[in-house]
Structures are given as structure tokens and as C-alpha cells.
A and B are shown apart, each in its own frame.
Chain A
């Protein structure tokens, strides 16, 4: 099912009609060929109109789009001979985080990512990509394997945040997130993180300590969701739009703030409008950055990773 956001709605009748023709009628019939052409023209024009100047709030909506590719979609398209690993060997398997090994660009790498799920059933099963401590502990297990097997790590970030629940707190949500970051600072293998959708706070950062941090054009990365921010600051969750502006959470904002190293271009309208192009762009960027860091000696890599994060922050130093 194709899903439309409120500001995309104008596209719906045109695209539905286009699909209808392609599916049920003879496209070689000149009558329909003409209609297809005109429809495509209209869609292209409308796309430009809708998508050329997206606001931070619209980008937030796109980053959460139901049709947006998820971690396992990237893995499925970019990795060969991959397999998933399960469980933290301590408590349970958390389906909100997936991970395993596979061949990327002829190189064996570990992959770790949040997995949101596509339909309602899968979303509920995966808790909408909101991990419990065991999810981060599974991630750490895979990082540890990658480190011992000397394989690079690619992490895919796409979560509203770590799950706020009784069980999560009881089993040490804060400890799990802190330890995962801590471990990533210890590793001597190359790490690249890509924010593919929502980078929600500590739950995202827990698998985001990397040598290179990339972000898809319409993804977001923030200390708090715009809704949460509005609820706390103004006691009014409906002012999320305004909060999204202030938080500076878009890929281009974060590139300017020097938090991310590259913004990966998305097809017009967003990743959900053309998966293939999204995968190609992501693959290219990943290959380039991985190649660059693969040549760095392991100890230096670790040192540089620390230096990278150490530079982050803005303050004045009064003399």
C-alpha cells in the first residue's frame, strides 16, 4: 500500500490513475499512451512544486514515512550472502535491533541497525524500532565479534528513541546505551554509521559512534523528538513544527554543524519514491568512505574517532 503524507496528497489521484492504466490497459494504445505522458508530466511538475523546498517538519515526516526503506531493505539490496544473528545471550532477542554479517562490495562487514517494521503487525512486533537494553546488548555482541574477526562495521540508524518502559529501566537501559558507546570507542575496526530515517536521541547514538557519520538527505538526527521538545518547553505537543525548526535536526543543518561527514542525496520527494536510486546513492557513499578509512592503521583509527567527537560542542573561552 502506498502511503501519502498530508502535503503529498495532491499526488495521490494522479499516481493512482497512472498505475491503473499501466496495470489494466494496453499502454501501447495511443489513447492511453497519451494519457500516461500527460500524467507523468503533471506528476513531475507537482513533485517539483511539493518537494523542492521542504521544511524541517516536512523532512521529519518524510524521515518517518511508512514506505521508506528500512535497515533490512538496505542489507538485502547492498549485501551478498548475508545472515542475521539473534539474541544478547543474557535475556532475549530484541527485534527492534537487527545485526549480522555479509559481503558488502566484496568485503565481509558486520551490519547493525534499528528495524522499524513495515506493516502494523511487524511494527508492533519490532516495537516501532524502539530498542530495549537487550537490543543494544545484541549490538555489542556483534561489535565484539567484528572486532575479533577484524571486520568493518556499518550501522544503520532509524529509531524514534530507546523504549521508555518499566522493563527497560529495570534491566538497565541507560547502562546498555552507555556501554555500547563505550565499546565503540574501544574498537580498532573501521565504523561507518548512516542515519537512514529517524535518529532519535540516545537510542540512536548508542550505535552511532563511528569514524564516518553519513545522513540521508531527508533523515533527521536530534536530541529529542520535535513533539517531545514542544511538550516539555511549551506544554503543547502540537507546536512540534516550531520545535523542528529550532532543534536544527535536518541533514543539512547537521552537516553545517559538522556532526555529519556527508549528506547522501535522495531521489526527488524522498527515499520512499525511488528505493533503487536511494540504494545506489547510499552504496556509493558507503564504498567511498569505507575505502578511505580502511587504509588508516587500527590504533590511529580509534584515536581519530575520539578526536572527532572531542571537537563537538560550541563554547566561549574567556581569557
Chain B
């Protein structure tokens, strides 16, 4: 019995709250290569090289670590087929927002660090012989938050999909809205939803892949509107973050709450797909739908 209890305790740790700021810091810190890393899910100490060789999947518990946009492209599309769109769009600090540092300084810093203007990469690529349009969130850029640029890029991509009748796949990983853009961040939810509506009304397939974590305004627009919704194993998916919920209800949360497996059980997503099989799954799905 004692043996079992120990295992249970370990699993409870899976539901550790996601602290966006800390996650960002961690993501930044991870740029500096360390030899070892700790699995967020099972807390095992892992050899970094081994994890990386394994598609950034924990060899012990198969938790899927967040991966870079470049890796996502490499794992999903045929080599050299991905072409990026709208990279000229850039954010600016239109509210003159300042928290611990000004939003403008934050943006400048991240641009230098990531070489990217904002938190999403859009483009087209091939999966097998099938051409698709795709948006990939970058969690390391302000927690993949939904600002004006993210909203505009995805809207343009969806319009392109409608115009050319090409399926759109969005890989989500986001903490939700971007507070530094205030109401405009909220309105991006509406804007992309309008574009999704127009794409779907024309019968063009819209697929979302939810990766760890997908929260807040991104879940309540882009993510949950997929014609088909796929999630990576153990990804945290929800509207409110677990910390907010715990503070509101003043109770411990049920085991596996807001994890992909929990959402599948409750009928909120279609399937959970291992990263190593994502490309084949998408290919099979698309070729079946499109034939």
C-alpha cells in the first residue's frame, strides 16, 4: 500500500500550476545548455541529449516537452518545403504599457533573443504530397500570448486558406491573452474567430494541435474551434489556469485535471497523438478528408 501511495504522490505533482512568467524564464534559461534537465511531469532527472534525441519526449513518462518552432517544422513538414509568411509584421507598444519593464523594452529584448518579431510563425509547407497552411505558436516569446500581430498573422493565414482552399493547421502553445495590449488582445480572439468562421463555412478543413500549455483566450478561440482537435500527451489545456481555479474554489483539483487525457475523457478533443506519429497521423487524416 505504501508503495502505491508513493506513486500517487508523484502523479499529483503532474498538476503543478503553470506559472507563465516562470515558464518564460525557464524557457529563456534553457537556451543555456545544461547537461541535465528535470521532467516537468514525472520529476525524473534526465540526460538532455537523450531527451533531444527522443523528439523532446521524456523517456520515462512520455511527457512532451515544449519544442521550438524550428523543431516543429522539422518534425511536421517535408524538408525545405516550409515557407514563412508575414514575417514583416511587428508589434509596438501602443498603450505605453509598463509593468516591471516597459512593453517596448520587452519586445526589443525578445526580438534580439529569439530573432523573431512576435509569438507566432505562419507559412505553408508540405506533409507528404499535401500542401497545408500552418501557424505555429512560440511559447518562448511572451508565453505565446495573443497580441495584435499574432491575431493579424493568423487571420491572414486563414483568409489565404479560404482563398486557396487549402487546409489550415494551427499548433497552439500559449498562456492566453497579452495583457500589455489590453483590450486589443481580447479583440484578437474575436478577429481570429471571425476568420475561422469564414474558412469553415467554405468547407476547408481546420485542424488544431494543442501542445503544453494551451490556456485562456487562445483555447477559447483558435484551439477549441478546430474541426478536428488533436492534443499531445499530458498537455495542459484549459480556459482558466489551475492556480486561478484553485484560489477561486479553495480546493485541491482532481487528478489529471486539464490534461489532454482528461479532456479526451470529457469529450473535448478528438485524439491524443504522440509527437513521433504526428506527421503520419496528419497525413493520413488529410488524405482521407481531401480524397
User: Contact string, A48-71, partner B, CB cutoff 8 A, digits 1/0?
Assistant: 000000000000000000000000
Complex contact A165–B239 (CB within 8 A)? no
- Expressed in whole angstroms, the Cα–Cα distance for A192 and B58 within the complex equals 50
A89 on the interface (CB 8 Å rule)?
no
A–B complex contacts, Cβ < 8 Å, 28 sampled: A169-B258, A172-B268, A173-B239, A178-B193, A178-B219, A181-B189, A186-B201, A202-B189, A202-B217, A205-B187, A222-B182, A222-B183, A223-B177, A232-B21, A232-B179, A246-B98, A246-B182, A306-B194, A309-B190, A309-B191, A312-B191, A313-B191, A314-B94, A314-B181, A315-B149, A315-B152, A316-B89, A319-B88
A174 on the interface (CB 8 Å rule)?
yes
For B88, the chain A residues whose CB sits under 8 A away are 317-319
Distance between B85 CB and nearest chain A CB, rounded to angstroms: 13
Complex contact A179–B225 (CB within 8 A)? yes
User: Contact string, B249-290, partner A, CB cutoff 8 A, digits 1/0?
Assistant: 101011001100000001010000000000000000000000
For A233, the chain B residues whose CB sits under 8 A away are 99-100, 179
Complex contact B225–A222 (CB within 8 A)? no
Complex contact B179–A224 (CB within 8 A)? yes
B43 on the interface (CB 8 Å rule)?
no
- Expressed in whole angstroms, the Cα–Cα distance for A161 and B195 within the complex equals 24
B:173-219 near A, CB below 8 Å: 177-179, 181-191, 193-198, 201, 216-217, 219
B:97-144 near A, CB below 8 Å: 97-100
Q: How many residues of B contact A (CB 8 A)?
A: 62
Given A166-B257, A314-B148: A248 in contact with B249 (beta carbons within 8 A): no
User: Contact string, A141-182, partner B, CB cutoff 8 A, digits 1/0?
Assistant: 000000000000000000000111110111111110111011
For B157, the chain A residues whose CB sits under 8 A away are none
- Expressed in whole angstroms, the Cα–Cα distance for A272 and B201 within the complex equals 44
For B185, the chain A residues whose CB sits under 8 A away are 223
Complex A-B, nearest 4 residue pairs according to Cβ-Cβ distance, in ascending order: A164-B240, A313-B148, A233-B99, A174-B219
Complex contact A314–B98 (CB within 8 A)? no
Complex contact B182–A174 (CB within 8 A)? no
B95 on the interface (CB 8 Å rule)?
yes
- Expressed in whole angstroms, the Cα–Cα distance for A99 and B178 within the complex equals 31
Distance between A245 CB and nearest chain B CB, rounded to angstroms: 10
Q: Which chain A residue has the least Cβ–Cβ distance from B201?
A: A186
**Interchain CB contact (< 8 A) of B186 among A172, A223, A317:** A223
Complex contact B249–A166 (CB within 8 A)? yes
Q: Which chain B residue has the least Cβ–Cβ distance from A316?
A: B90
Q: Which residues of B contact A (CB under 8 A)?
A: 20-21, 88-92, 94-95, 97-100, 148-149, 151-152, 155, 177-179, 181-191, 193-198, 201, 216-217, 219-221, 223-225, 238-241, 244-245, 248-249, 251, 253-254, 257-258, 266, 268
A104 on the interface (CB 8 Å rule)?
no
Q: Which chain A residue has the least Cβ–Cβ distance from B190?
A: A309
**Interchain CB contact (< 8 A) of B91 among A185, A202, A316:** A316
For B238, the chain A residues whose CB sits under 8 A away are 169, 174
A83 on the interface (CB 8 Å rule)?
no
For B148, the chain A residues whose CB sits under 8 A away are 312-315
A229 on the interface (CB 8 Å rule)?
yes
Q: Which chain B residue has the least Cβ–Cβ distance from A183?
A: B197
**Interchain CB contact (< 8 A) of B187 among A224, A246, A309:** A309
For A2, the chain B residues whose CB sits under 8 A away are none
**Interchain CB contact (< 8 A) of B155 among A174, A221, A222, A310:** A310
Q: Beyond A163-B248, A259-B183, A318-B89: 14 further Cβ-contacts under 8 Å?
A: A164-B240, A165-B240, A174-B223, A185-B198, A209-B194, A233-B100, A248-B182, A248-B183, A306-B197, A310-B191, A312-B187, A313-B184, A315-B89, A317-B88
For B149, the chain A residues whose CB sits under 8 A away are 313, 315
Complex contact B198–A201 (CB within 8 A)? no
Complex contact B89–A317 (CB within 8 A)? yes
A9 on the interface (CB 8 Å rule)?
no
Q: Which residues of A contact B (CB under 8 A)?
A: 162-166, 168-175, 177-179, 181-182, 185-186, 201-202, 205-206, 208-209, 221-224, 229, 232-234, 246-249, 254, 257, 259, 305-306, 309-310, 312-319
For B186, the chain A residues whose CB sits under 8 A away are 201-202, 205, 221-223
Given A164-B240, A202-B217, A205-B186: A229 in contact with B249 (beta carbons within 8 A): no
Given A182-B196, A306-B194, A306-B198: A201 in contact with B177 (beta carbons within 8 A): yes
For B193, the chain A residues whose CB sits under 8 A away are 178, 181-182, 185, 209
For A319, the chain B residues whose CB sits under 8 A away are 88
Distance between A239 CB and nearest chain B CB, rounded to angstroms: 10
Complex contact A185–B194 (CB within 8 A)? yes
For B258, the chain A residues whose CB sits under 8 A away are 169
Q: Which chain B residue has the least Cβ–Cβ distance from A220?
A: B183
Given A249-B182, A313-B152: A169 in contact with B245 (beta carbons within 8 A): yes
For B254, the chain A residues whose CB sits under 8 A away are 166
Q: Which chain A residue has the least Cβ–Cβ distance from B86?
A: A317
Q: Which chain A residue has the least Cβ–Cβ distance from B251?
A: A166
Complex contact B183–A174 (CB within 8 A)? no
Distance between B80 CB and nearest chain A CB, rounded to angstroms: 25
Complex contact A165–B248 (CB within 8 A)? yes
